[in-house]
Amino acid sequence: MALFRSLMFVPGNQPRRLEKVPSLMSDAIIYDLEDSVPLEEKETARKMVSEALAKHTDKTSFVRVNAMSTVYFFEDVSAVISKSLQGIVLPKTERRDQIVIAEYLLTQLERKHGLKPGCLEIVPLMETALGIANALEVAGSCHRVKRLAFGAVDFTLDIQAEFTEESMETFTARSQLVIASRAAGIEPPIDTVYTNVKQPAGLEASTKQAKQMGFQGKLVIHPDQIDIVHSVFSPSPKEIEAAQKIVQAFEEATRSGMAAIQVDGKMIDYPVVERARRILEYASKTGNL
């Protein structure tokens, strides 16, 4: 599984932001054609994003197109297809049939552009009550859906809840996305953006909560957020040391016929060892091991 600790939104209509893409250290880029682009600049943004994709081919790149219910969706998808595109982020995803339509369109465009069949992903952005209610259906809708993402700002608006720093109003919805992803056999989901870019402590707390809940990464909106998100989602030296100790002790114990032992006063059995091994595997991917 590739690293998706951070996926950074880059407005598709802002040349200065697009020029800075090579310097961004996020695991993936999301060129945005939706919320950050005024209606009168949609066409211009498509062209600029298409040019950016052709130029910055070394980046793992997605494009957030406009919702399927808008007049912009078809032209958005058609304009950004390229060899350097990893996939599209589909906002306001609520039902399986939306994924089916997007999947059909991508299949036709892959053929037209000579791309490998099925290479383009769909990242459903879950932003409504209906979307959350149908999360399992969406998560298991087709092979192009490898992970879900959560949009808290639109979700809280949809359910008429207060959007707060503590995020308790979104806790149930986020948990449902984690459970649905696991049940469908896809990757863990990506958590929502943290909107206050001048509050690094708040971002760190929000990211830690997302990690504890079972998310694999977070959407970000500012370069300063990337290091904090990576730090939280990457195993710490303390976690790595503890995991190594657990794995080593357990392997020694099993050779002696034991499958449940104690390490530093804590009971260690197969589930605990499996978690430790996953930490070490992930640490290797992040370069911390």
Q: Using one digit for the tens of pLDDT, what is the confidence trace for 60-104?
A: 999 999 999 999 999 999 999 999 999 999 999 999 999 999 999
User: What does the pLDDT look like over 136-152, one tens digit per residue?
Assistant: 999 999 999 999 999 99
Token representation of residue 238: 């303390």
Whether 89 contacts 75, CB under 8 Å: no
- Tokens (6 digits) for 174: 């986020």
Residue count (the chain): 289
227 C-beta neighbours (distance < 10 Å), count: 13
The closest of 199, 175, 201, 197 to 188, measured between CA atoms, is: 175
Q: What are the φ and ψ backbone dihedral angles of 124, each rounded to 5 degrees?
A: -70, 125
Is the separation of the CB atoms in 171 and 133 below 8 Å?
A: no
Which residues neighbour 232 within 8 Å (Cβ) at sequence distance 6 or greater? 204, 207, 208, 211
Q: Which of 28-37, 171-180, 253-262 has the lowest mean pLDDT?
A: 253-262
Residue 117, pLDDT above cutoff 70: yes
HSE at residue 168, side-chain half, CA atoms within 13 A, is: 1
d(CA 194, CA 200): 10
Amino acid 268: pLDDT: 87
Q: What is the rounded average pLDDT of the residues 108-114?
A: 97
The mean pLDDT of the chain is 95
Q: State mean pLDDT over 105-130.
A: 98
| pLDDT on residue 255 | 85
Backbone angles phi, psi at 272, to 5 degrees: -65, -40
The confidence score (pLDDT) of residue 211 equals: 96
Q: Is 31 helix (H, G, I), strand (E, B) or coil?
A: strand
Task: Report which of 233, 229, 133 is spatially closest to residue 179, judged by C-alpha positions.
Answer: 133
pLDDT tens, residue by residue, 165-209: 889 999 999 999 999 999 999 999 999 999 999 999 999 999 999
Q: Lowest mean pLDDT of 68-72, 108-112, 120-124, 277-281, name the range.
A: 277-281
Closest CA to 207 of 128, 216, 278: 216
Taken in order of first residue, the domains within the chain and their CATH numbers are 6-233 (3.20.20.60), 237-286 (no CATH)
